[in-house]
Structure 1
């Protein structure tokens, strides 16, 4: 086993006032704790971030670093509600660049690492939901974005719904159950749903049609999906945020 330092590029409209250095615990598996140093600096596309990894090969070191930093980004991207992506090459993702960048402090990175570590060990399904949400933020294709935002909701609901005869019938009822848990059975309390008791069914149908290639790649269909992106994104964000704060936080 050897300690490697892996340097990665973080694309996104974020910046630092000054370089950041700190140590944090990395525990991708229970009991496998390693104290990693983290260094973050500004660069052209966003940030340059490096971390130490203990493993037996350079290839494994890169994979572990991508996983470790990626899980942190799932949390940070969600908290900022901004697209962030990680890469091990110098290719600049121009769609994630911008002239206005949020200044991120050391404590925000530390907190994101701590939360991602806790979720990875205790609530892996919720962390996967955050990963899907981040994919929705940084994806360019409207179909991919819709799938990612909807998957972020459905994967969390599949894990945390209340098992009963109704929820055993599938994801639509599982999502409905989780919405009721957060916002009551009165759909007028469900922000973004606009009292439409078919909203979950309609969004799920779009998801299924995209996933199974049933929507023609024609301008009117693409525009219809684009028109629904902000709505499904906003509902997904509200759902994940409130589920984390009310159901997963002590």
Structure 2
């Protein structure tokens, strides 16, 4: 038991904090999801599950979607740090499920600027988020952290690619999604010891997930996979100087590789990452 007379035994008490954060992106909530509150597992530690109530709703006045949830911490600053990590991972999965760039901002000035930009858009094209998708996101996060960290990391790279502005960085982000998932989920049981490599793993995962039908355009073409792999190595490792031709090649491959990355994330989620509630 702590000694009341010993100053080094003092610790700040743990309190509950409510965080309310606006998300921005070309998404909208289905009617059954708007203003819905769920009790979900937020984290797991020391053989104990930690729950939070989480509410999601649309902010039609200011723009964006509002997420309200609770965090236990020793200070407001700690609550923000813990809460933002949790929210960032939710946004990663939301982007991986919808193929839409979802982001949040830590200052009101940034949020106000993004809200104004969205209101000025001449046409609104929003992807509807459905209840079963949101339930998978909130209900699967802890299991993904524990058992499938590579999938969670791939979702993070995917969102970075969607929210980026530099086509070279975006290209590399989307390639990393495919590369990481192939390394972790391709069926290598029939491989010989000398077999391996990124392209081999990508081809194997493509066969595992898609068979002969519905293969994303880029993954169906071995020469394009080779081209994308070479380009990624040249960009990431600095094998060659950045040229106009390299930028144009990355730009031309950007949508095909984004589509391939999303299809791999989506198919893997639906076939292998459904968890019991």
Q: Once the 2 structures are TM-superposed, how far is the Cα of residue 232 of structure 1 from its aligned partner?
A: 0.6
Structure 1 residue runs without a partner (length 5+): none
Counterpart selection for 2:255 from 202, 206, 230: 230
Compare 37-46 and 119-128 and name the one that shifted more.
37-46
1-structure distance, mates of 2:162, 2:193: 32
| 1:95-110 matched pairs, under 5 angstroms | 97=118, 98=121, 99-100=123-124, 101-102=126-127, 104=129, 108-110=133-135
Q: Which residue of 2 aligns with 1:9?
A: 22
For the pair shown, the structure with the greater C-alpha radius of gyration is 2
Is the 8 Å Cα contact of residues 153 and 175 (structure 1) preserved in structure 2? yes
User: Residue in 1 aligned with 2:41?
Assistant: 26
Return the offset for 1:117.
Answer: 3.2
Q: Does 1:37 align with 2:53?
A: yes
Q: Distance in 2 between matches of 1:107 and 1:3?
A: 28
Q: Report the number of matched residues.
A: 248
Answer yes or no: is 1:146 the counterpart of 2:178: no
C-alpha distance 70-131 of structure 1, shift in aligned 2 (>3 A): same
In the superposition, the TM-score normalised over structure 2's length comes to 0.76
Give the alignment's Cα RMSD to 1 decimal: 2.9
Counterparts of 2:230 and 2:80 in 1: how far apart (Å)?
39
Give the structure 1 partner of residue 196 of structure 2: 169
How does the TM-score come out when normalised to structure 1?
Answer: 0.84
For the pair 1:55 / 2:73, whether they are aligned, the reply is yes
Kept after mapping to 2: 8 A contact 1:167/1:174: no
Residues 166-245 of structure 1 mapped to structure 2, 5 A cutoff = 169-184=196-211, 190-193=215-218, 196-245=221-270
- C-alpha spacing 1:89/1:107, structure 2 compared with 1 (3 Å): farther
- Matched residue, 2:85: 67
Cα deviation code 1:98-154 (max 9, x no counterpart): 441445466653442113333223322112111211211111111111111111111
Provide closer, same or farther for how the CA distance between residues 195 and 3 of structure 1 changes in structure 2, counting only shifts above 3 A: closer
Q: What SS does the aligned partner of 2:53 have?
A: strand
Matched, 1:76 2:94: yes
Residues 1:125 and 1:50: Cα distance change in structure 2 (over 3 Å): same
Classify the secondary structure of the residue corresponding to 1:165.
coil
C-alpha distance 225-166 of structure 1, shift in aligned 2 (>3 A): farther
Deviates more, 1:90-99 or 1:53-62: 90-99
Relative to 1, partners in 2 of residues 1:24 and 1:225: Cα closer, same or farther, differing over 3 Å?
Answer: same
